Amino acid sequence: MLIDWVRHVARLGGELLGDPGHARLPSRGQFLRMLHRERARADRTGSQFSLLALGVDRGPARERSWQSRATLRHLLRLLQRRLRLTDDVGWLDGRHLGVILPDTPAWGAWALVDDLYLALPTDIPLFECKVYVYPAEGPAAGRGAAEEAARTEPASAGPYPAQPMEPLFIRRLPAWKRGLDIAGATLGLVLAAPVFLLIACAIKLSGRGPVLFVQWRRGLGGRPFRLFKFRSMTPDAENRKAEVLALNEQDGPAFKVKADPRVTPLGRWLRATSIDELPQLWNVLRGDMSLVGPRPLPLTEADACTNWHRRRLDATPGLTCTWQVRGRSRVTFDEWTRMDIRYMHSRSWWQDLKLLLQTIPALLFRRGW
């Protein structure tokens, strides 16, 4: 244990002291991997942890001001003395140090900030600081957030501003993926234009109601967006949802019914061929969705997800995904989420291309229906 502590202190001070025998602070990529690991641990244990973002200028030495260098020097020395063995420090981005504080609520993180401010020499400029917490609503290990706060916070505790950490986990679309989305969606909309016209006419002739069904879904980072589909149900389907909740065939928060009585005869064919999903090419072109990514859930279903299920929101939702071609209703919602997480950690242009090609036979042979 003593050896581990000495190594931990040496790692924190390596960049400050300039000793080539010491390891440098973890890079942004290494630190984000630590952050993802701590998030997984918090999801498993139901605990809450905090992240400090401490503002320092990490620019080239010739451009870094003496104030920034002095702040960084003293800050690292203070962190060596103050942090626990379980805490981690690294570069959150080019201008901020990140400090991971396991099992620490917002008030505990701000207590550390107060200690750092008080110990900083008066001639050293104060650093900017932000506190992030995960999960944002507090611990979920068998008690409510209010009860947990009452158990852990000091009686004199005031408001402790903290931002949700979830936005830090967002995986932005790579340039190659956005380029593939624009090219694929544009080509698809052009080629499918005659089909759009025929389907629109068929829906209008089949009865009253709009051609398109518009529903709010949770997208990247939980941002709501309007998803477009060809209407396959009766116009009052949303109002009648309570009548069919007992028929749900999917576990977890998702809602799936094969023989939904609200579906029209034309709608059954549209769903069987997935033609009802074609208007989502417009969502892809707008940037709300991608060709490949986790399928977006309606707001109520997404909000009912547990913390680790919400990792699906780290990536832009898609038209098709691993679940679409390999599982659908045959898998549990937990396994569905695991498929999405595995895809997010290994996505590449080749994997996207394979999933797009595998979607065609999956729809033709209705795998997992």
Examine the domain organization and report whether 181 and 156 are in the same domain.
Answer: no
Which pLDDT value is given to residue 50? 96
Q: How confident is the model at residue 246 (pLDDT cuts 50, 70, 90)?
A: confident
Examine the domain organization and report whether 355 and 247 are in the same domain.
Answer: yes
Examine the domain organization and report whether 258 and 142 are in the same domain.
Answer: no
Is the pLDDT score of 245 beyond 80? yes
For the chain, how many structural domains are there in total? 2
Q: What is the pLDDT of residues 290-309, one digit of tens each?
A: 999 999 999 999 999 988 99
Examine the domain organization and report whether 224 and 94 are in the same domain.
Answer: no
Q: What is the pLDDT of residues 164-215, one digit of tens each?
A: 999 999 988 999 999 999 999 999 999 999 999 999 999 999 888 899 999 9
Examine the domain organization and report whether 200 and 132 are in the same domain.
Answer: no
Section 17-41 average pLDDT = 77
Examine the domain organization and report whether 74 and 209 are in the same domain.
Answer: no
pTM of the shown model:
0.78
Domain that holds residue 13: 2-169
Greatest Cα pair distance in the chain:
78
Percent over 90 (pLDDT), the chain:
52
Examine the domain organization and report whether 256 and 359 are in the same domain.
Answer: yes
Examine the domain organization and report whether 88 and 116 are in the same domain.
Answer: yes
Section 273-298 average pLDDT = 94
Cβ-based neighbours of 102, under 8 Å, separated by 6 or more: 38, 41, 42, 47, 49, 86, 87
Section 69-77 average pLDDT = 80
Q: How confident is the model at residue 125 (pLDDT cuts 50, 70, 90)?
A: confident
Which pLDDT value is given to residue 140? 43
Q: Name which of 69-73, 183-187, 233-237 the model is least confident about.
A: 69-73
Cα separation, 125 vs 70, whole angstroms: 8
The answer to the question of residue 180 being in a domain is: yes
Residue 194, burial from CB neighbour count under 10 angstroms (0-12, 13-18, 19+): exposed
What CATH number did the domain enclosing 100 receive? 3.30.70.270
The answer to the question of residue 369 being in a domain is: no
CA neighbor of 258 nearest in space, from 332, 360, 329: 329
Examine the domain organization and report whether 285 and 303 are in the same domain.
Answer: yes
Percent over 70 (pLDDT), the chain:
82
The answer to the question of residue 100 being in a domain is: yes
Beta strands in the chain (DSSP E): 49-55, 88-93, 96-101, 129-134, 163-164, 212-218, 224-230, 290-292, 318-320
Q: How confident is the model at residue 367 (pLDDT cuts 50, 70, 90)?
A: low
How many Cβ atoms are within 10 Å of 262's Cβ, its own excluded?
A: 18
Which pLDDT value is given to residue 57? 65
